Amino acid sequence: MLNTTAWNRVRYGLYAPVYDLVAERAFREARRRAVAQVDWRPGMRVLLVGAGTGLDLPWLPRDIELHATDLSPAMVRRLERRAESLGRDVQAEVMDAERLDYPDDHFDVVVMHLILAVMPDPARGLAEARRVLKGDGQLCVMDKFQADARPASLPRRGLNALTSAIATDITRQARPLLCEAGFVIEQDTPVMMGTLFRALLARPG
């Protein structure tokens, strides 16, 4: 399987110089709608997991304590430059989403945009998100998902062998992943390409 942490670090380092050209405009409205579902309050401590080049930053409140991680050092450098250009104070770290270096019950909000479909072990990533979230915290997810009502077809699973190596997994299901990780889904909104891309807001169960 080519979808490994080591391979993702390499490929996203290669993608970093052109990532914004591909992802900024395409996902702008989906990002905005996803973070708009969060019940924001001043002073919240917020973590962006798999933050990439920081394309979520323009849609986040300014009266929060903001932390961001990404597996790729090249992505983190671009995030830091974006934060500086926007006048945002962001504590950015190179970090594996499946092994977060934060204490338990530390964040009010964890944002996971376009990462659950690319990480090797999304269940482990969600377990880490739940660990670092406070008991009354909120998880904000936006990603592409296979329909919850049925598993992926055989042709789709075959195609996934290729897509998961170069871009993204196309067989993952949102509700099974979040519910098995101990989250209760409060909002589930299609935000792009029909129901393929969804924004979900959940809390620890």
pLDDT at 136 (0 to 100) = 98
Helix H or strand E segment including 1: none
pLDDT at 2 (0 to 100) = 65
pLDDT at 163 (0 to 100) = 77
Tell me the backbone φ, ψ of residue 136, rounded to 5 degrees.
Answer: -105, 20
Secondary structure of residue 46 in the 3-state scheme:
strand
Partners of 133 in the beta sheet? 107
Query: What sections of the chain are H helices per DSSP?
Result: 5-36, 73-86, 122-132, 154-166, 174-180
Apex 76 CA angle, 35 and 9, nearest 5:
105
pLDDT at 162 (0 to 100) = 67
What is the CB neighbour count within 10 angstroms for residue 202?
A: 27
| Helical axes 73-86 vs 5-36, angle rounded to 10° | 30
Which residues neighbour 199 within 8 Å (Cβ) at sequence distance 6 or greater?
Answer: 30, 33, 34, 37, 140, 141, 142, 187, 188, 189, 191
Domains and CATH numbers, the chain: 5-204 (3.40.50.150)
pTM recorded for the entire structure? 0.94
Secondary structure of residue 189 in the 3-state scheme:
strand
- 10 touches 75 (CB < 8 A): no
Which tokens hold the place of 13? 């380092």
Which residues neighbour 123 within 8 Å (Cβ) at sequence distance 6 or greater?
Answer: 177, 180, 181
CA 105 to chain centre: 19
pLDDT at 142 (0 to 100) = 98
Which tokens hold the place of 68? 């961001």
pLDDT in tens, the chain (205 residues): 467 899 889 999 999 999 999 999 999 999 999 999 999 999 999 999 999 999 999 999 999 999 999 999 999 999 999 999 999 999 999 999 999 999 999 999 999 999 999 999 999 999 999 999 999 999 999 999 999 988 888 878 887 776 777 778 889 999 999 999 999 999 999 999 999 999 999 999 9
